[in-house]
């Protein structure tokens, strides 16, 4: 590539990156994330669950390396087999280009639930 073409490409780069980054704006999809992922997060509960009153479902969001937005929170509690309540950390990944949502609970929370379930 000659120098003139390189200069043109470099001049266009910020605009191109800006458009891609705008699609990955966490705040743009925040309400959709809460509405879409809430039920999926609840389905991980082995028994009962409660959302902590007055808290948002997600407390942070970031763009990860797979071009998805990761929303994170810890506003739900799952009831254990012994009747105690355990706060659970969770994520919801959104892939804007494919309109796909995927909820998950953190590995530590998942392992803790699995261990509690085996102690029944």
Domain of 60 in residue numbering reads as: 26-118
**Cβ burial 15-45 (10 Å sphere, 16+ → b, else e):** eeeeeeeeebebeebbeebeeebbeebeebb
Query: In whole numbers, what is the pLDDT of the chain averaged over residues?
Result: 80
Domain membership flag for residue 15: no
Residue 67: Cβ within 10 Å count: 13
CB 107 within 8 A of CB 90: no
Domain membership flag for residue 88: yes
Question: Which segment, 19-28, 47-56, 60-69, is predicted with the most confidence on average?
Answer: 47-56
Smallest CA-to-CA distance from 84 within 42, 55, 54, 112 is with 112
What's the predicted TM-score (pTM) here? 0.70
pLDDT digit string, tens, across residues 98-110: 888 899 988 777 7
Q: What's the total number of domains in the chain? A: 1
pLDDT greater than 60 at residue 86: yes
């Amino acid at each position: 590539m000659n120098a003139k073409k390189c200069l043109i490409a470099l001049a266009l780069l910020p605009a191109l990156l800006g458009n891609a980054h705008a699609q990955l704006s966490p705040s743009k999809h925040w309400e959709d994330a809460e509405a879409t992922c809430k039920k999926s997060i609840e389905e991980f509960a082995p028994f009962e669950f409660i959302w902590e009153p007055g808290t948002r479902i997600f407390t942070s969001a970031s763009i990860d390396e797979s071009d998805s937005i990761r929303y994170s929170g810890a506003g739900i509690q799952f009831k254990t087999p012994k009747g105690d309540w355990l706060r659970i950390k969770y994520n919801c990944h959104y892939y804007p280009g494919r309109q796909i949502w995927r909820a998950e609970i953190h590995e530590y929370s998942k392992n803790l639930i699995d261990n509690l379930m085996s102690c029944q």
